Structure 1
Amino acid sequence: LSIPGDLSLAGFDDFEWADCFEPRLTLVEQPCTEIGRQAAALLSERIASSHAAPRAVRLQARLQARQSCARPTHMRPA
């Protein structure tokens, strides 16, 4: 099988050397620094007020579309 001709490949947690692969990898990039910052803030809030209601924080991830994902160039019979 060839990537991306027969199969698209996508992963999670974009990393600095993802561009070094051939084909270049499509990955989802998480805001890791902001995740840590928000986790620390939520923990501090809970320590300061143990009766505070738990809350969730959603952060925006970003798709780094590269050459490992594409429309199939041909279809194989089932």
Structure 2
Amino acid sequence: MDRLKHAMLEYHERSKHRVGGYAPGPGKLDWATQPYPFRVFHGAPRIDLPLAADSLTTRYNELRCGALPPARRFDLS
């Protein structure tokens, strides 16, 4: 067990981020093996949603300070 613990701690030291820089990465991304970020259910209709953020009028400070706007219904039209 001591050998496994030592190997784990050694790996952690080699791979962690530090104040002076990020941990070393793989060097490049293999885009061909990246997962598709959206779930697809074959046979189910696909609905393209509009970008609702374009119609928001609430500013960040209003949210941060607790003055939340009233909830409103989301409409696809």
Alignment TM class, shorter chain as reference: under 0.3
TM-score by length of 1: 0.24
The structure number with the bigger radius of gyration is 2
Answer 1 or 2: which has greater helix percent. Answer: 2
